[in-house]
Structure 1
Amino acid sequence: MAGTVAANLGLLAFFKYAGFLTNLAPDVLIPVSWKIWFSDIPLPVGISFYTFQGISLVVDTWRRDVSPHALEMLQRRGRNRAASLRDLSFYISFFPQLVAGPIVKARDFLDQIGAKAWREIDWITVRRGLIVGYFLKIFVADNLAEQTGALTIGAEKVAGMSTVVSLSLLYSYSLQIFADFAGYSLIAIGLGALFGYKLPPNFNFPYLSTSITEFWRRWHLSLSSWLRDYLYIPLGGNRKGAGRTYFNLFLVMFLGGLWHGAAWKFAIWGSLHGIFLAIERLASRRQGTDQVPAQSPQATRFFSISAFQRFCIYTIKWLLTFHVVTFLWLTFMMPDMQSIGAFFEAATSMRFSFSGPPVFALGFYGVAVVAYHAWGWLREHRSSIATRLARSRLEPLCHALLIFLVVTNPGAPRGFIYFQF
């Protein structure tokens, strides 16, 4: 098990991080010509995703987390070994989610491999996944990308932007990266269902989060659960004391940041998320130990809060979480740290002049992401109303409107953001 996991990680490190690591070494140890050679190694498409699935296959089998049927399939001998190799290759290379997820664990997929019948297709999942997914990508993300590209034009030009324009572009990118990645995930889920396979959900309305901890329970769910099952828990999780727990949280997020790309900006992004997770866990522990139970009616009245106060607290926590997540997205968008510094210079310049397109794009295309999350809030807090709406004629009418918008107002075609990872 250790050898095969090391082999998978070794291939990933060679193709993805060889140039980054060799550039850290002094020229005396590694010649410049070697550094150039390592930096020019082409990155296989989707290597981060299918490497994680290969590790899942090895570890789940070693732990006996797969079903007896899947274990028998993996252990075929003689002539049946070719069928076993076929099924394993199919799991690793299943095309809908091959290059950008969701990351599928072996224990969740192997038992699904087999002949499929037309009547088994979940057409509701197909329709919802494909229509909403293409809408988020083509109408929302691609149109927003036409404006947010201005953040990459150079530090000097970014620094000259006004506060309104710079913040509008940042908010637009925050909505764009969600629409782009969630759109791809929904398309993959819809295509998987079209072929009779159930892929795990990858997003659960992440911009409803009121803490960074909750955000990572809603954003890129397949990566979060993978890091938890194959990295955080084997490191000890939260079973070896508070200090070790905080270190594990930080390390997992640091490595998760590096998984996104071989650059310091991704390491900083992951590290900051890890620090916020550790701080929130520490705060929740202290809050739990510092609470004093109310012993009298007077104390009960003193500690109780009104519905309006709860709403204000919820709103403040939501605003803080959204802005922390949004500002950390700068490390994904900006080409270097100098450009990030230039953005903060522009955002704090208190220049309120603005041009129409960035603000219009945020208001017109961004409202779709807001409406999507409003639907998510309704599902979570008013589930009976959401169920009635989903079963009514309103859903197919909404889907018809989404198709109309995709056809009549698509953005310039662009690759998916997570293809680079």
Structure 2
Amino acid sequence: MLFNSWEFAVLLAVTFALYYAPWSAGRHGKAWQVTVALAASVVFYGWEDFRLVALLAVSCVGNSIATARIILHKVAGDEARVKQWTRLAVALNLALLAVFKYAGFVAGMLPFLPETWVKSLQDIPLPIGISFYTFHGISMIVDVARGEVTREGDAMLTRGTRFAKGVRDIGFYLLFFPQLVAGPIVKAKQFWPQIAAKRFAEIPWQQVIRCLILGYFLKVFVADNLSEQTVLLTIGSGQLSTASPFFLIPLLYGYGLQIFADFGGYSLIAIGLAAMFGYRFPENFNFPYLSSSITEFWRRWHMSLSAWLRDYLYIPLGGNRKGEGRTYVNLFLVMFLGGLWHGAEWKFAIWGTLHGLLLAAERFITRRRGKLADAPPSALRSFFGTLYTFHAVTLLWLTFLMPDMAHVRAYFEGFASGNRSVSGPPLFSLLFYGTPVVLYHAWGWLREHRPGFAGRLARPGLEGCVHALMLFLLTVNPGAPRGFIYFQF
């Protein structure tokens, strides 16, 4: 079910009414609200194919049992058993992901497998959002094993009837519909302490309105309209190789703006919806196209995934604590695996590898210059760094959109085709629908570099006018409804 569908609007209205029903203020308010939200999440996820709920249930119950065992051994002081259960649970989560997402990819590289086996494995359907709820399960297991949420977990997962309630609450954490399919990736230590009865009077309506209006505007008006042009990049490779650069370049920049508007819009909608139900989600985007380096870009783009990769992969691998050479290897490995996380295709592995190489190169250069990577650059260096980062990131987005590497190669062949014709629709789409993303980042620049002036602009009256304009535009000129880009991951 899509956030930008009438079915979801009906589900949200019914869920909200039941969630804050008069009896939710009673002694069993928490149990009622968690159950309502959990039921809504099951409907939300299983709307297109209810069979997927069975896989979700297996993940939820398996992680609940493993978490309970880890907590019991943690309380008993049996660290050996804690490590055994942690390794087992993480391995099972990764196995689930491997079977449904990577089995066909790996099978295609094994020449000794029969063709029928390879075809069967490649035909396994990819459950929507499996990467996200698997990462949620792994982070929960690891956080409990590290003792970072032991007290909350101990209260949730003691024996008897409390164990059943604990499984319910863990299911709520894993399945909560705002973040179920595409994040943000919320850690157990962030979410578990928030599980409690919520009151209608405590809803932060200002945050809800801001997030929902901006999120839907970025998705419905900006991303969906841009996609009507950028989809032309997926036409046959033969047509791309003979296209004009004045056709190809606007489409690539348009996609760079589209993927931010699409995923950034989704994250804002998720944050706003969670706030409606009394839960705080971490910020997922922080004006990423203002970044003056690839390193900074990954501190601003999909921040919950970056934090997950850092906490559960980069640091356990040794981070930067085991020498300069090992640091470069870790950077490369994390980004390579981060690329494969986006999809079981070589184009994603190449995308992650190139980002990893750029991160390693930046670290090498800053170390040789004797400057810390976190040191603020001069205004001139920041300007040129932002130009470099934006263009490098935009160029690498090609691998996200193109069906295969042959299309990527054909894109660059178009520059040598000799065709110099100018196509109006791609240019108009980039300028008209891309301008809001530019203005959004300009606002971010003011907030960071001219906070006083930004504060004077942030007046309720002006903000209300901007929100009214956004609502008007997304109502009168929505793009053709499309799924969110990150649903495929």
Q: Are 1:24 and 2:92 an aligned pair? A: no
2:87 corresponds in structure 1 to 2
* Amino acid in structure 2 at the alignment position of 1:34: W
CA distance in 1, matches of 2:415, 2:270: 37
- For residue 146 of structure 1, the aligned residue among 228, 232, 236 is 228
1:361 corresponds in structure 2 to 429
- Structure 2: which 5+ runs fail to align? 1-85
- For residue 174 of structure 2, the aligned residue among 88, 92, 97 is 92
- For residue 333 of structure 1, the aligned residue among 395, 401, 421 is 401
- For residue 60 of structure 1, the aligned residue among 143, 146, 151 is 143
Q: Are 1:183 and 2:265 an aligned pair? A: yes
1:380 corresponds in structure 2 to 448
Deviation at 1:314, TM superposition (A): 2.5
Q: Are 1:389 and 2:471 an aligned pair? A: no
- For residue 368 of structure 2, the aligned residue among 286, 296, 304 is 286
* Amino acid in structure 2 at the alignment position of 1:110: W
1:145-178 CA-partner distances (Å, limit 9, x unpaired): 0000110001111112111110000000000000
CA distance in 2, matches of 1:177, 1:276: 21
CA distance in 1, matches of 2:190, 2:451: 27
1:14 corresponds in structure 2 to 99
Report the CA distance shift for 1:2/1:205 in structure 2 as closer, same or farther (over 3 A): same
2:392 corresponds in structure 1 to 324
1:198-220 CA-partner distances (Å, limit 9, x unpaired): 01111000000111000000000
Alignment of 1:258-337 (within 5 A): 258-288=340-370, 310-337=378-405
2:5 corresponds in structure 1 to none
| 1:67/1:107 contact within 8 Å kept | no
Deviation at 1:387, TM superposition (A): 2.4
| 2:246/2:423 contact within 8 Å kept | no
- For residue 314 of structure 2, the aligned residue among 219, 232, 235 is 232
Q: Between Structure 1 and Structure 2, how many residues are aligned?
A: 400
1:340-359 CA-partner distances (Å, limit 9, x unpaired): 11111223556432111000
Alignment of 1:125-204 (within 5 A): 125-204=207-286
| 1:67/1:111 contact within 8 Å kept | no
* Amino acid in structure 2 at the alignment position of 1:11: L
| 2:213/2:470 contact within 8 Å kept | yes
2:75 corresponds in structure 1 to none
CA distance in 1, matches of 2:371, 2:460: 48
Report the CA distance shift for 1:33/1:371 in structure 2 as closer, same or farther (over 3 A): same
CA distance in 1, matches of 2:422, 2:360: 39
1:354-392 CA-partner distances (Å, limit 9, x unpaired): 111000000000001000000100111111222232233
CA distance in 2, matches of 1:328, 1:106: 32
TM-score by length of 1: 0.93
Report the CA distance shift for 1:399/1:348 in structure 2 as closer, same or farther (over 3 A): farther
Deviation at 1:79, TM superposition (A): 1.3
1:373-421 CA-partner distances (Å, limit 9, x unpaired): 0010011111122223223311111000000000010001110000000
| 2:156/2:165 contact within 8 Å kept | no
- For residue 124 of structure 2, the aligned residue among 35, 41, 44 is 41
Report the CA distance shift for 1:193/1:357 in structure 2 as closer, same or farther (over 3 A): same
CA distance in 2, matches of 1:16, 1:9: 10
Report the CA distance shift for 1:289/1:185 in structure 2 as closer, same or farther (over 3 A): closer
1:94-146 CA-partner distances (Å, limit 9, x unpaired): 00111011011110000111110011111111001100000000000000000
- For residue 305 of structure 2, the aligned residue among 201, 205, 223 is 223
* Amino acid in structure 2 at the alignment position of 1:19: G
Deviation at 1:30, TM superposition (A): 1.2
CA distance in 1, matches of 2:336, 2:343: 11
1:255 corresponds in structure 2 to 337
Report the CA distance shift for 1:379/1:80 in structure 2 as closer, same or farther (over 3 A): same
| 1:175/1:366 contact within 8 Å kept | yes
* Amino acid in structure 2 at the alignment position of 1:10: A
| 2:157/2:167 contact within 8 Å kept | no
CA distance in 1, matches of 2:114, 2:244: 44
| 2:212/2:272 contact within 8 Å kept | yes
CA distance in 2, matches of 1:279, 1:322: 17
CA distance in 1, matches of 2:428, 2:371: 48
1:302 corresponds in structure 2 to none
Q: Are 1:103 and 2:210 an aligned pair? A: no
CA distance in 2, matches of 1:263, 1:76: 43
- Structure 1: which 5+ runs fail to align? 291-308
Residue range with higher mean Cα deviation, 159-168 or 358-367: 159-168
The RMSD of aligned alpha carbons is: 1.4
TM-score by length of 2: 0.80
1:306 corresponds in structure 2 to none
* Amino acid in structure 2 at the alignment position of 1:182: G
1:301 corresponds in structure 2 to none
SS in 2 for 1:234: coil
- For residue 244 of structure 1, the aligned residue among 313, 323, 326 is 326
| Bigger relative CO (Cα 8 Å, ≥ 6 apart) | 1
CA distance in 1, matches of 2:417, 2:361: 30
Deviation at 1:8, TM superposition (A): 0.2
